[in-house]
Each structure stands twice: as C-alpha cells, then as structure tokens.
Amino acid sequence: MPATATELPLGVQLAAHGGRLAVWSANATAIELCLFDPGDADWVTATVPLERAGDGLWAVEHRGLVPGARYTLRAAGPQGPGQVFDPGMHLLDPYARGLVRSASGEWRGYVQTEDPFDWGSSVKPRTPLDRTVVYEAHVKGLTKLNPAVPEELRGTYAGLAHESTIGYLKDLGVTAVELLPVQQFVSEQRLVGQGLANYWGYNPLSFFTPHGAYGSRAAQLGGTGAILREFKGMVKLLHEAGIEVLLDVVYNHTSEEGLAGPTTSFRGLDNRSYYRQTEDGDYVDTTGCGNALNTSVPAVSRLVLDSLRYWTQEMQIDGFRFDLAVTLGRDAEHEFDPDHPLLHAILDDPALQGAKMIAEPWDVGLGGWQVGHFPDGWSEWNDGFRDRLRRFWLTDIGAARASGVAPDGIGPLARRIAGSAHVFAAERGPLASVNLVTAHDGFTLADVTAYDEKHNLGNGEENRDGASSNLSFNHGVEGPTKDPRILAARRKAMRNLLGTLLLSAGIPMLTAGDEMGRSQRGNNNAYNQDSELTWLPWELDEWQRDLLQVARDLVRLRRENPALRPVRYGVWGETVPGATQMDWYNKDGEPMTMEDWDSPAERTLQYLAASTPESEPFNRILLVVHGLEEDVQVVLPAHEGVESYTQLWDSALQVFPGEVAYRPGATIPIRGASVQLFLANEPA
C-alpha cells in the first residue's frame, strides 16, 4: 500500500540545524507550529506556519525543532458538517515520539533525541507459532505486589524486566508476553468525574509513545527519553531470555471520544478525514468508545502502518494483538472487507515480516462478528473455543446436576480440541486460532468456577456494565465458601479448563494470574480497578501453588508432544506434513459412532493423535476426556503401532504422583468430569 503520493516522512525528523515537521490534513486551510519555552510548556515562544507539501501533507523546517523541544500544532479550516476546526486550539502531532504535560495539565509533543540504544546480543526469538504459548499480562498488575521485585520497580517496565519476573515466566514455560496497551493512554472523562481511572489502557492518546506512568520513578524523573530506554531495556532482557513481547494495540479509536469529548489531535487536525462519519457529521461508532478511526482513508491506514513499523523496528516488538480489529477492516461504506488493503498491507509490509499478527475479530458495529474471516497470515482470538470449553466443563455440568442430563454431547468440544477446522479455512490451518478460556475482559479462571452472576458494583455503573452471560458455574454457592466438596469441584474445573486449553490444537493464551487461581471477587469488567483486586497475588495458598505446578506441567507436556500442536489440518486418506493424524474412540475403546458424538449421556471420548513429522521426531498421544460427574471405566484402544500407554497427567488429581504404563485393552477408572493424557508408545 503506498503511504501517500509523496512518501514524505511524517512527524519530526532531526537535521544538523533543527528539524522538519510534517503532518497530514486533507481539509485544513492553514496549520501552524507552536514552540514552547523550555521551562514553561504553557508559554508559546514561537509560531511558524506550515506549507503545503502536496497530497494533504503540510511541512515546516525550523531551528527550534531540537531534542527536548515542546511543541503543538494549530489548524484552521472550513466549517460545516463534520468539520470542527478551531485555530486557537493546541493539538498533538499524531506522530509525536514523546509527550509531556504542561503545568496547566495540557499535553505537548516532545522532540525525542535519536541516541542509539545498545541492544547488545539481544535478538528477536522468532518462536514458531506452533510452539507459541501466549501470556496476556498487565505491566503494572503483573509485578505490583511481587515481593521479589524491588519496591521502587514494582508495577513498571523495569519490574517486568526484573530477573525474578523473567525467571517466573521462564519457569512457567510461556514463550510470549502479550502486554495490555502500553501506548500512551488517558482515562475517559466519565471516569475522571467519578474519581476512577482507566486501568486496562484501551483509550489511546498517542500511537508512538510508551505510557509514561509505567516507567519507574527514576525513569519518569529522567523524562521521556529515560522511559523510552527503560522500555527498550525490558524488551532486550525478555529477548535474551527467549521470550517474545507482543503488544495489545488500539488503532480502532482514540481518547478523543465522541464529539463532546476532549479534542487533542485528530479531531482538530481533520475530523472529517480521520473519523468515520455520516454525511451529516455524526460519528459512525463501531467501537463503543465514541469514535472509530477511518482506515478507508489511505493516510489513516498509513498512520497505523507507520506506528507498527516504529514499534517493530525501533522498539523490537515481536507482534501485535489488534483490539476490535474488524474496525480496521471496514471500507468507506463502513462494512467489513476481508480484502481491505490495510489488513493485507500489515501482512505484506517488508518491515513487519516475521511479526505475529493477532486479530480480535469483532467490533460492536453492524456485521461486527467476523471470526474466521481474516486473511491467511492472521491469527484470531477464537471466542467459540472459549464458549465451548466453558459450556462443556461448567454450564453443562450445572445443567446435568439440575435436570439429570447435559444439554450436549461431546462432539462440539472435539472439534475445538482438534483445531476448529469448521471455523478457519483449510489453507489457514489450526494456528489461525488463538485459543483462550479467559482474557483481561471477563471473569478470571477462578471466578468462572465460583460465580453465576457478575459483581461489578465497584465499577460505578450499578452493575450494568460487563457481560451478563458468562457461561460460568459456581458449583453450588455464589462466591467464597469453605465447603470442601465445592472447593474440590471448582479446582478440578480449573484444571479441566487449563488442560483442555493447553492440550488443544491452536495457539493457547493464558491470562496472567489464572495459573495461580487469581480472583477478582466476581468482577467481570475490572477496567477501572487499579488495586489489589486486579494485581497478581504472589503470596499463595497451597492449592494455588499446586495449580501453578499443573500449569507448568501442561505447558511442558505441550512443548514435549508435537502431536498436540499441529501446523496444518489433516486430510482424510492423505499424509499432510505438520498435520495430526486423528483417531477417535469411545469409552469402550471402539471407534466413535454418531450416537457417541451426539448423546448427552455419552460424554466420553478418547482422542488418539499422531504427528506427521517435519522438524521433530514422531510423536503420538492419547487424550481421554470425560464430561459427566459420574466416574466411568474406560478401555484403552488397540491401535496399530501402539504397544503401551504411559499416563502423563490426570486432572482429577490436584498433584499428579507420577507416570504409570498400561497396555492397550486395559480398563482404567476415569474420575467424574476429568481429563487424562497418555503418551502412546511404539514397540521397542
């Protein structure tokens, strides 16, 4: 995709005698640069007009554009539907590499120094998708309570880079941390009025600047350059440990909110071009956040690409998860187009090659649910996987308790375990699916087993916010309990959910804290809760330490068994390299019948999966899934080439005692509602 007709770099470019600033606005009639006193960012010391540079570009060269300079833009233009130009309003350069606040609280652009950063021997890990295990985390929440991190570093980029944090991630076995938004964000006006703050960060002010509040105190005192160095240092140390850094990026909307919201940049520069609107100037809001960036305009798509290039090249980021990515793929008529130029440009851009691209494949606009419809090369959050696992292990169990029968058989779950081939096109394969059970948005793993209803009163919206349907099951009591039977059932349900997530085809994503049973006390929308409610606990009870060990074991078993992580879908009757050859058996060790797949009374299957080697040795596993609370006897299947089965894990056990071997045809007990994993051994 051509950036614009001129390829003129946007933002500030430093030169020997000052610098050049370029900005895009198709509808402005005049733009001026404002420079501020070095000691008072509210005192304008110079105003300089920008000149037209063609194709909507405006540019100026000035000796005052030097490292450390504070600056803004002011724009004049026509009035009419969709136009809100105000030549007296200070606006941020959309490409500003640094931001500072003035004494009055207003934002100013900051000209960043171009001092090179010493990356040393650090290189991007380039972890293959089939070996990737994503860990979704919040920079502050991950380390704020960790006593192993020095107090002054807790909740910061440096705290994430601390040896204890990296050691924990390595020990857990995850290969990538996916950070909730770290581009500079602010809190919505409504939250500020309530005395609350946006904790998650999905309200971006700038697409090129790291969020300053996540810098350590020393970095914040050192200014934007010090924060930038601390961020890069974090990436460097994670890379040296073999851990990739993915960013959750919000290019679908900005913190300018609706037309009554604060004007800080895009709206004042060219509201008509940057935001989706009707002919009358009303916003077409497909994000639920007040506005939606209009990526059908080439210059807006260029902004997204330039930002991605910056984070990929300058900051050495390994990939991105795109919040409400459907909005990015909407055309000039505001309809989603899987062939949208931006979606393909993100994949094809030479500067972005090798980066992982993950879509949240929905937004709140008409036709907003687009799971499975992104181009080949994208991976997508798979909400169907999430919902099916929750139904099978939670609401179906609850329904069976209440009525004596579960609503569904085991067939729908089997499709998810095998890679959701009914959702993603054959050429995309199972690695198009990012599998999840929870995310930052919604119940935690512990809470989805302990609450039937959301408990969001603390969010200030009288419990109206957050999803009302959570596919959760409290196992008999809402919230905390001391009943040992309920606690045992909840903890087994957590192990079942973790096990099915980490032993299924696709890319698994863990939500930080789920591996240790973190609770938010039933709050399923804790976006404005910056407290111990949302920070990870590091002082763990015995059952939490046991659950953490389960998570470690499952990640290790996934890594050791390539049959669990196919690259391609298998084709019946063909040998497909990188695919898994699948055989399905019922509890009697016989091939599954249609009744076995569909019957709510027969929720037991045995999944025998063999790898088709490309780069790893041959491997075959047997996964046994039983979805009723009554115990069952299972006959291990006889299969050509299988001499014995070695039990590797059992979700019914809080602590797995060790491996046990069985012969094909052996009858073994399976505890109610549980999962077992076996290694299928070839003859010696």
User: Among all residues, which ones are annotated catalytic?
Assistant: 323, 360
The answer to whether 303 and 340 are in contact (CB under 8 A) is: no
Distance CA 213, CA 379 (A): 31
Instruction: Give the span between the Cα atoms of 329 and 296, in whole angstroms.
Output: 8
Cβ–Cβ under 8 Å, residues 377 and 347:
yes
Chain centroid to CA 585: how far? Answer: 35
Q: Where are the alpha helices (DSSP H) in 564-670?
A: 594-598
CB-based contacts of 585, cutoff 8 Å, min separation 6: 591, 592, 605, 606, 608, 637
Q: How is 398-460 classified by DSSP, letter by letter?
A: HHHHHHSS-SS-SHHHHHHHTT-TTTS-TTT-GGGEEEES--SSS--HHHHTT-SS---GGGT
Helices 341-348 + 298-309 axis angle, to 10: 30
Single-letter code of the amino acid located at 563: A
Spell out a b/e string for 81-100, using b for 16 or more CB atoms within 10 Å of the CB, else e. Answer: ebebbeeeebbbbbbbbbbb
Report the b/e string of 272-303 with b at 16+ CB within 10 A.
bbbbbbeeeeebbbbbebbbbbbbbbbbbbbb
DSSP 8-state code for residue 229: H
In whole angstroms, give the CA distance from residue 204 to residue 253.
8
Among candidates 359, 323, 332, which has minimal Cα distance to 344?
Answer: 359
Q: How far apart are CA 450 and CA 438, in angstroms?
A: 14
Q: Locate all alpha helices (DSSP H) within 70-153, ordered by sequence.
A: 139-143
Token pair 């349907």 is found at 469
The amino acid sitting at 629 is: E
